[in-house]
């Protein structure tokens, strides 16, 4: 192989940090030249001022300098034309127009809506911790913060103030703790701005967040739904009919009565309710070890019983998360509990629930595998 061929082979091992595709495949390598022992490269960025430029320079240099005849690497960055960006979008979307990948018949991504009857039960905190737990188990995971009015996932995932890279009308989810994240908060001009959307516009927002993002290949997508039984809960069932629902409640019986409604609306639009998580359960006193039921007992069991009777099959309690102030402080600091205190009782309970979700295998019945029989 010539030196230029060796350089091109080295470049093929370098992937775009956000798109996770090799640079030549994305059309980012405009030219390669060799001047003595110096490799002279021109690399095209998808957008001007790409935040990953320094990372790309480092990765490219590390790969190309391994070529025996090269002692130095110089890189000039340019910017793709509109036509070149369109080619990238077509490549990423498999040649199809804008669509929701998780609603396609060949999708193998499990979509879980995390729901609650009311706010304040720790739904978003559990969404973040479950996503990270699944990523720690080797799954490719994403979070869509669909709580348009009360979005809190960016703070929980340590992504405050960051914005996704946009390629025209397509954008790249941010990543934190190995999880891809999209939230309405990332698109507001000012963080303090209120979102005042109604009815059809809410449906459109959810549709755009699902279809305009380049999620790549995910094993699991968790959707943090707004509390209650409003428009977005219904829209999820319409946009992704195969999505499933996980209900979060607290030990209070009164909370269980409200939580049942979240499961009821899911059942009415033919979504499967896979289980209940009881958050803020009894915990051991740090001084004497005595169990303290700060918010009562029985709420998880009551929610499970009511939903099981409603749907006609068992809706189990997947786990109980003991009340733990670190769950709150970790969220405020952008370091979720399974990262900040993985050995704590609460973190272990969350990891155990993630194990249940990870072990569930998706049937291939009805999925197009791209295989056609050969005729003899």
Which structural domain range is residue 41 located in? 3-92
Q: Specify whether 157 is located in the same domain as 247.
A: yes
Confidence (pLDDT) at 95: 67
d(CA 162, CA 90): 26
**371 lies in some domain:** no
CA proximity to 122, closest of 352, 295, 342: 295
Which tokens hold the place of 283?
A: 């915990």
Q: Specify whether 132 is located in the same domain as 266.
A: yes
**115 lies in some domain:** yes
Q: Specify whether 218 is located in the same domain as 235.
A: yes
Task: Give the strand order in the sheet containing 29-35.
Answer: 29-35, 38-45, 72-79
Q: Specify whether 178 is located in the same domain as 217.
A: yes
The domain that holds 70 is classified in CATH as: 3.30.300.130
Give me the number of domains the chain comprises.
Answer: 2
Which residue among 67, 92, 117 closes a domain? Answer: 92
Confidence (pLDDT) at 360: 61
CA dihedral over 353, 354, 359, 362, signed as positive or negative: positive
The domain that holds 177 is classified in CATH as: 3.40.50.300
Which tokens hold the place of 61?
A: 């240099």
Confidence (pLDDT) at 375: 45
Using H for helix, E for strand and C for coil, what is the string for the chain? CCHHHHHHHHHCCCECCCCCCEHHHHCCEEEEEEECCEEEEEEEECCCCCCCHHHHHHHHHHHHCCCCCCCEEEEEEEECCHHHHHHHHHHHCCCCCCCCHHHCCCCCCEEEEEEECCCCCCHHHHHHHHHHHHHHCCCCEEEEECCCCCCCHHHHCCCCCCCCEEECCEEECEEECCEEEEEHHHHCCCCCCCCCCCHHHHHHHHHHHHHCECCCCCCEEEEECCCCCCHHHHHHHHHCCCCEEEEEECCCHHHHHHHHHHHHHHHHCCCEEEEEEEEEECEECCCCCCEECCCCCCHHHHHHHHHHHHHCCCCCEEEEEECCHHHHHHHHHCCCHHHHCCCCHHHHHHHHHHHHHHHCCCCCCCCCCCCCCCCC
Q: Specify whether 40 is located in the same domain as 170.
A: no
Confidence (pLDDT) at 253: 82
**121 lies in some domain:** yes
**220 lies in some domain:** yes
pTM over 0.85, yes/no: no
Confidence (pLDDT) at 15: 94
Q: Specify whether 58 is located in the same domain as 198.
A: no
Per-residue pLDDT of the chain (376 residues; tens, 9 = 90+): 899 999 999 999 999 988 889 999 999 999 999 999 999 999 999 888 777 899 999 999 999 999 999 999 999 999 999 889 888 888 887 767 678 889 888 888 999 999 998 888 889 999 999 999 999 999 999 999 998 888 899 999 999 988 888 887 788 999 999 999 999 888 877 766 777 777 778 888 889 889 899 998 899 999 999 888 778 888 898 899 999 999 999 998 888 888 888 888 888 888 899 999 999 888 877 777 777 777 778 889 999 999 999 888 999 999 999 988 888 888 889 999 999 999 999 999 999 999 998 876 444 444 444 454 554 4
Q: Specify whether 316 is located in the same domain as 173.
A: yes
Q: Specify whether 240 is located in the same domain as 331.
A: yes
Which residue among 68, 92, 116 closes a domain? Answer: 92
CA proximity to 357, closest of 177, 109, 155: 109
Q: Specify whether 88 is located in the same domain as 110.
A: no
Q: Specify whether 203 is located in the same domain as 87.
A: no
CA proximity to 224, closest of 115, 336, 100, 139: 115
């Amino acid at each position: 192989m010539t030196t230029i061929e060796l350089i091109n082979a080295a470049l093929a091992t370098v992937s775009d940090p956000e798109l996770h595709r090799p640079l030549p495949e994305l059309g980012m390598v405009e030219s390669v030249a060799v001047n003595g022992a110096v490799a002279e490269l021109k690399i095209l960025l998808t957008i001007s001022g790409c935040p990953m430029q320094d990372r790309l320079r480092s990765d490219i240099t590390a790969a190309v300098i391994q070529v025996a005849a090269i002692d130095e690497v110089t890189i000039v960055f340019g910017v793709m034309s509109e036509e070149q960006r369109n080619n990238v979008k077509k490549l990423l979307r498999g040649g199809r127009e804008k669509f929701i990948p998780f609603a396609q018949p060949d999708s193998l991504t499990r979509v879980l809506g995390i729901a609650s009857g009311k706010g304040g039960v720790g739904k978003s905190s559990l969404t973040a911790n479950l996503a990270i737990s699944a990523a720690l188990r080797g799954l490719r995971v994403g979070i869509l913060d669909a709580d348009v009015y009360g979005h809190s996932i960016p703070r929980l995932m340590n992504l405050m103030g960051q914005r996704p890279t946009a390629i025209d009308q397509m954008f790249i989810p941010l990543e934190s703790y190995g999880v891809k994240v999209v939230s309405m908060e990332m698109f507001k001009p000012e963080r303090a701005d209120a979102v005042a959307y109604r009815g059809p516009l809410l449906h459109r927002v959810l549709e755009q967040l699902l279809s305009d993002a380049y999620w790549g290949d995910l094993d699991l997508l968790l959707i943090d739904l707004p509390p209650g039984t409003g428009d977005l809960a219904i829209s999820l069932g319409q946009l992704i009919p195969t999505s499933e629902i996980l209900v979060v409640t607290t030990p209070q019986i009164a909370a269980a009565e409200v939580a049942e409604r979240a499961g009821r609306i899911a059942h009415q639009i033919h979504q499967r309710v896979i289980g209940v998580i009881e958050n803020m359960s009894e915990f051991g006193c740090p001084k004497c070890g005595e169990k303290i039921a700060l918010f009562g007992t029985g709420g998880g069991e009551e929610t499970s019983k009511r939903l099981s009777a409603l749907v006609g099959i068992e809706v189990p309690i997947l786990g109980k998360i003991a009340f733990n102030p670190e769950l709150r402080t970790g969220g405020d600091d952008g370091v979720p509990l399974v990262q900040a205190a993985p050995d704590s009782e609460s973190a272990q309970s969350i990891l155990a629930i993630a194990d249940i979700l990870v072990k569930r295998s998706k049937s291939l019945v009805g999925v197009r595998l791209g295989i056609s029989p050969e005729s003899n």
